[in-house]
Amino acid sequence: MEKLKKQIPHIGRRRVPEKLAAGEVACQDCGMDPMCSILEYAEEGSHVPEGVLLRRRQVARGETIFLKDDPFRSVFAVKSGSFKTYIPKVSGHDQVVGFHLIGELIGMEGLSSQRYPYTARALQDSSVCELRMESLAETGYLLEELQRGIISMLSAEVAFNHQLITALIHQSADQRLAGFLLNLTKRLYSRGMRQVEFQIGMSRSDIGSYLGLASETVSRVLTRFQKNDLIQLRHKRLRLLDPDGLREIAEH
């Protein structure tokens, strides 16, 4: 990603100054930025058709932006709010496969099969930017840089999943949750969200599904963390009081 910027250094500077709504990620902190940059740069050559990049669509809490097995059209970036991606199950509980925070991308994994492998639903009122890969492909317009960005992102995703798998396998409920909380705040921090307190959109059962725990276990562990002054958790507002303590637990 950073490499990409170095290759096209004039990008970013020439970007139109943006007005940030409260709680929105800045473009330079957004995961879509490398691709947006390339597209905007390319626009001068006017090869990019209209409607390839749709900016800041509002998505209401509970709304889906695509369903599992929908034909792959677009990659989305979360501008504000948060999403969960999950595989719907007939037998009761869905399987949550990911949380997508501010500045992160959704839908990339549809590239191979040309179908989305999961449903994406807003956990709270959110907004997204949409990159219509379909239109891009149709015009035969798939810049090498763009592809490189995609490759970079996908291989990062794979690495992250390896970590997740390792975590799920060997770690106790305490370790998983400590790691999860640290991961959340780390991700938000890297996107420029530097508050001490965060709104976590996901429910206990979402977290449980994602981490392979019963929602009751999630609840129990979180209250215990709270009793030990590791975190503060009121309703859906989270504050890490003792990140080092959590790290201690996560790494054992």
Residues lying near a copy of itself in the complex (CB under 8 A) are found at 87, 95, 97, 108-113, 117-118, 142, 144, 147-148, 150-159, 161-162, 164-166, 168-170, 209, 211-212
- Residues 211-250 as x/- pattern, contact with DNA by CB under 7 A: -xxxxxxxxx-xx---------x-xx--------------
Give which of DNA, a copy of itself, none residue 150 binds (C-beta under 5 to 8 Å, depending on kind).
a copy of itself
DSSP secondary structure letter of residue 14: S
Part in contact with DNA (CB under 7 A); list of ranges 39-47, 134-142, 143-151, 206-214: 206-214
Which lies closer to a copy of itself via its Cβ, residue 141 or residue 241?
141
Here the tokens at position 170 are 């060997």
CA distances (Å), 183 to each of 104, 106, 180, 211, 240, in order? 13, 18, 5, 13, 12
Measure CA 16 to chain center.
24
Cβ partners under 8 Å of residue 246, min gap 6: 178, 181, 182, 225, 230, 231, 240
Give which of DNA, a copy of itself, none residue 204 binds (C-beta under 5 to 8 Å, depending on kind).
DNA
Distance in angstroms (rounded) separating the CA atoms of residues 26 and 192: 8
Angle at 160 between CA 155 and CA 163, to 5 degrees: 135
Rg (CA), the chain: 19
Tell me: does residue 173 bind DNA (CB under 7 A): yes
Distance in angstroms (rounded) separating the CA atoms of residues 215 and 222: 11
Which lies closer to a copy of itself via its Cβ, residue 142 or residue 196?
142
132, 76 contact by CB (below 8 A): no
Q: How many residues make contact with DNA (CB under 7 A)?
A: 22
Shortest distance, position 31 Cβ to a copy of itself, whole Å: 13
* Helical axes 144-170 vs 173-190, angle rounded to 10°: 160
Tell me: does residue 172 bind DNA (CB under 7 A): yes
Of the residues 5, 205, 232, 241, which one makes contact with DNA according to CB under 7 A: 205
Give which of a copy of itself, DNA, none residue 180 binds (C-beta under 5 to 8 Å, depending on kind).
none
Distance in angstroms (rounded) separating the CA atoms of residues 156 and 89: 27
Pick out residues in 92-121 that bind DNA (CB under 7 A): none
Give which of DNA, a copy of itself, none residue 228 binds (C-beta under 5 to 8 Å, depending on kind).
none
Shortest distance, position 35 Cβ to DNA, whole Å: 33
The site for DNA (CB under 7 A) is made up of 61, 172-174, 203-205, 208, 212-220, 222-223, 233, 235-236
